[in-house]
A and B are shown apart, each in its own frame.
Chain A
Amino acid sequence: MSVGAPRGLASSGQKPITEILHPLSAAEETLSSGPDVTVNVGGDQESGLTNGTPVETSSPASASLLFNRLQLDDDSEADARDPYASTETRDLFVTVDDPKKHVSTMETYITYRVSTKTTRIEFDLPEYCVRRRYQDFDWLRIKLEDSQPTHLIPPLPEKFVMKGVVDRFSEEFVETRMKALDKFLKRVADHPVLSFNPHLNAFLSAKDLNKRQGLALLTKVGESVKHVAGGYKLRARPPEFCAMGEYLDTFTQKLGTIDRIAQRILKEQSEYLTELREYGTVYSSWAGSEEELRRPLEGVAGCVTTCCGALEDMSENMSQDFLPVLREYVLYIESMKNVLRKRDQSQAEYEGRLEAAILRKQEDRTPMPVEVEKCQDKVECFNADLKADWERWQSNKRQDFKQLLTGMADKNINHYEKCQAAWESLITLLQEKQTEDKTSETN
């Protein structure tokens, strides 16, 4: 469903983490600056304004809508469409689909089919097909967070839903959740580091996930870092990470606003729809008392009904496709913030230890302990990974929102096109009748 992540790092993942080049040198995109996020001020925002330029609509709306729904098992076409795709071949394709309900005496739950196609040697077979439930995805995510603490792990859809409020087994809910799970897995599979994680391998290939190992004790490295770094305070956060934090805060705000606006629009549209339906029936009932005007009036009633249908479709689409993606991004931002916090903590720890070591050195000339060097490595590693992930995240975000907003525009265009077609055919009908009458008059 989602357009593939751009291949930020050139490596095919076979190098160990420490040898991965700095993202700037390997970046494929035409990003003008590095991880430093600068605020774009100035009046050149207008330069891209397209005022009243007519757009050639050779029915792109319906085509792209269709496209979004297709399962991208063979992603080579998708890559061609994606201007940011590198020429590197992908060798791991995953899909989540086919939800099924399972009823047992203990519980009822949904499983999804997880299909994998790959040429990687880390996998025994080129293809896999397993069934997983939400719990399994959650397990995977926790394992990834534990084992790759310096990386941003994509978010999962909300775990808990209020049982009275939301129907966990409604088609809508399941469909929305499945799309989010699919996106999650695709993002992981596209990540040059995460995709080689053995837990992912197990998730994709094992008949039965042996989850007992991980679930019992959640020994998050992050927590242990907190433990150790308990007494340490962060000196100075490098400006690029400050900027990231600020960006995330503002971005969350804006997403929240957009969510509210979208919901408000749906509400207004729903009320409009109610009135519009009533409006259509008045035409119908008027037609009943007329002779000559019966067909025109019924025609109008028909058009109004068509417009109602088109509006209903669009609202449903927006509610299913648009809102969930927005909300998922808010979760994504939270994950990113967490990673930033962890980074801060590891930096704090390093600085703390360094300070302590320097003092001791001054006192009794003991050499720099190994742990301090290890800490330094960890911090530098963390910073590098984070920067790389940030770039990837930014790039993904851009693609995702481009797709999201373009989708929204397409839905609206599609809606208006349907309505226009209905009214145009009515006019043809009415005008035909007119010429019919005129000729019969003169005869």
Chain B
Amino acid sequence: MAEDGKDDSVATDDDSDQTAADGSLNNTMVEEGSTLLRRMEICVAEAEKRSGKNAVSMQETFTVYLIETRPMDAVADGRNPAPDSLWRRYSEFELLRNYLIVTYPYIVAPPLPEKRAEFVWHKLSADNMDPDFVERRRVGLENFLLRVASHPVLSNDKILYHFLTEENGWKEVVYETGFQAKADSRLRALSATFRVRNPDKRFMEMKHYSDELQSHTSQLLRARARVADRLYGVYKVHGNYGRVFSEWSAIEKEMGDGLQSAGHHMDAYAASIDDILEEEEHYADQLKEYLSYAEALRAVCRKHELAQFELEMASQDLISKKQQLRTFSFKGMTNKLFGQEAPEQREAKLKLLEELITEGEETVKEKTVECEEHVERAWVDMQRFKEQKDKDLREALINYAVMQISMCKKGIQVWSNAKECFLKM
């Protein structure tokens, strides 16, 4: 999925470290340039169970994942150095992602694999410790890292690099960035959504699209799980044929062999559904990724609403202050309204007002820049995201079709075998 970063990258020596501050000006449509993934091979190789004491000194069991990295040029040269490696828990991945979201609010952040098994159909374990779940999570985490490390902006982040290379003390370094303070309060964000007057139309459309994407992918996941459940039932009932054919063959002479063999094929048919559905889980995982991506997309749109809202508030505030200043000038007016005032008091008030206006103007300038920058960068990344999504989902659909074909072929095989047995009866 996210291997594209490796494959599509054209070798450029454009290693100019255009950092995030100005990253938007780089061409971000294709995974070119100095993304981390170009320089470093990354994979999440293993998962292991650990036990330890948690924050409230209670014993707990959790899973850790082994991240292995190797410098790309070493690999390209044919040398095979041992990879550097470290262990990380899921919660550390979460921390990394939260940091990235706050630090780069104009980027549609790659999602993590689900925290808990959702959209399960009855056979699938909802247990986080289930080995199949852990394996799929390992793949999901690797996918996350590959996407981040191949992102034209995110891949340059130092904290990310640190995450991949220094096991100890990473958490402290993240907290030291103070990113948590920068996080927008939910209340403010929500308020902005309702009260913003002039948001960028394109962002509103994109936000609406993210709602649609979320709705459709979750509907699809639910429907798929129900279909899987039913299909499982159909296949398994056929196993009963195996038993009864075997019993029946015992009282037959010429028919016996054919019946017995056919029964074995019915058993095989019933058993085949397990692998088929396990493979389909990969498709479900791809859908889940984009379900989460929809949320990330919406977050970028909301950030725009917030920035725009704050700009509007600041502008409004400035206007009202300037208004105050004008009414201040009408001596007569104010005397009538506020009564007699000492000239010193008036002087002080005037000065204060003028200072506030100056501040206000500064604020408006800042907010304008903030807003504009966000719009510009976010738009670029949203385009990149759109292309990636179209490509990934199309591939996912093709893979799904391939899976269906494989299932049909297996079915034909088994029933043809059974038919041969029946013909020999």
A228 within 8 A of B: no
B173 within 8 A of A: no
CB within 8 Å for A53 and B417 given contacts A398-B425, A420-B408: yes
A80 within 8 A of B: no
**Chain B residues, CB < 8 A from A289:** 209, 212-213, 216
Do residues B405 and A293 form an inter-chain contact, with CB atoms below 8 A? Answer: no
The tally of residues in B whose CB lies under 8 Å from a CB in A reads 63
Do residues B419 and A55 form an inter-chain contact, with CB atoms below 8 A? Answer: yes
Do residues A257 and B244 form an inter-chain contact, with CB atoms below 8 A? Answer: yes
Do residues B419 and A409 form an inter-chain contact, with CB atoms below 8 A? Answer: yes
Do residues B248 and A254 form an inter-chain contact, with CB atoms below 8 A? Answer: yes
Do residues A269 and B260 form an inter-chain contact, with CB atoms below 8 A? Answer: no
A234 within 8 A of B: no
Q: What number of A-B contacts does a CB cutoff of 8 Å give?
A: 196
**Chain B residues, CB < 8 A from A231:** none
Do residues B219 and A54 form an inter-chain contact, with CB atoms below 8 A? Answer: no
Instruction: Kindly supply a per-residue 1/0 record for chain A positions 324-363, scoring 1 wherever the CB is within 8 Å of any chain B CB and 0 otherwise.
Output: 0000000000000000000000000000000000000000
Q: In the complex, what distance in Å separates the CA atom of A431 from the CA atom of B261?
A: 40
A40 within 8 A of B: yes
A208 within 8 A of B: no
Instruction: Kindly supply a per-residue 1/0 record for chain A positions 379-422, scoring 1 wherever the CB is within 8 Å of any chain B CB and 0 otherwise.
Output: 00000000000000000001001100110011011011101100
B89 within 8 A of A: no
B278 to chain A, nearest CB (A): 18
Do residues A48 and B398 form an inter-chain contact, with CB atoms below 8 A? Answer: no
Cβ-defined partner of B408 (8 Å) among A410, A419, A434: A419
**Chain B residues, CB < 8 A from A410:** 419
B4 within 8 A of A: no
Q: In the complex, what distance in Å separates the CA atom of A286 from the CA atom of B397?
A: 13
B233 to chain A, nearest CB (A): 5
Do residues B237 and A406 form an inter-chain contact, with CB atoms below 8 A? Answer: no
Closest to B265 in A: A50
Do residues A48 and B421 form an inter-chain contact, with CB atoms below 8 A? Answer: yes
**Chain B residues, CB < 8 A from A443:** none
Do residues A416 and B408 form an inter-chain contact, with CB atoms below 8 A? Answer: yes
Which positions 223-248 of chain B face chain A at CB distance < 8 Å? 223-224, 226-227, 229-231, 233-234, 237-238, 240-241, 244, 247-248
**Chain A residues, CB < 8 A from B217:** 286
Do residues B423 and A406 form an inter-chain contact, with CB atoms below 8 A? Answer: yes
Q: In the complex, what distance in Å separates the CA atom of A271 from the CA atom of B418?
A: 25
Which positions 43-61 of chain A face chain B at CB distance < 8 Å? 44-55, 57
A129 within 8 A of B: no
Do residues A55 and B253 form an inter-chain contact, with CB atoms below 8 A? Answer: no
**Chain A residues, CB < 8 A from B417:** 50-53, 55
Do residues B423 and A296 form an inter-chain contact, with CB atoms below 8 A? Answer: no
Closest to B208 in A: A289
Instruction: Kindly supply a per-residue 1/0 record for chain A positions 264-301, scoring 1 wherever the CB is within 8 Å of any chain B CB and 0 otherwise.
Output: 11001101100110110011011001001100110110
Cβ-defined partner of A261 (8 Å) among B229, B241, B390, B408: B241
B262 within 8 A of A: yes
**Chain B residues, CB < 8 A from A283:** 220
B401 within 8 A of A: yes
Do residues B257 and A413 form an inter-chain contact, with CB atoms below 8 A? Answer: no
Do residues A57 and B425 form an inter-chain contact, with CB atoms below 8 A? Answer: no
Cβ-defined partner of B422 (8 Å) among A38, A53, A54, A402: A402
CB within 8 Å for A37 and B253 given contacts A52-B417, A286-B216: yes
Do residues B244 and A261 form an inter-chain contact, with CB atoms below 8 A? Answer: yes
Do residues A282 and B234 form an inter-chain contact, with CB atoms below 8 A? Answer: no
Cβ-defined partner of A264 (8 Å) among B237, B404, B423: B237
Q: In the complex, what distance in Å separates the CA atom of A430 from the CA atom of B415?
A: 29
B412 within 8 A of A: yes
Cβ-defined partner of A430 (8 Å) among B220, B233, B244, B401: B401
B251 within 8 A of A: yes
B289 to chain A, nearest CB (A): 15
Which positions 376-425 of chain B face chain A at CB distance < 8 Å? 390, 393-394, 397-398, 400-402, 404-405, 408-409, 411-413, 415-425
Do residues B400 and A300 form an inter-chain contact, with CB atoms below 8 A? Answer: yes
**Chain A residues, CB < 8 A from B250:** 39-41
Query: What are 10 A-to-B residue pairs whose CB atoms are below 8 Å?
Result: A40-B253, A257-B240, A286-B220, A296-B394, A300-B400, A300-B401, A402-B423, A405-B418, A423-B405, A430-B397
Please give 10 more A-B residue pairs, beta carbons under 8 A apart, in addition to A251-B251, A398-B425.
Answer: A31-B254, A53-B420, A55-B413, A251-B248, A261-B237, A261-B240, A299-B397, A401-B255, A416-B408, A427-B398
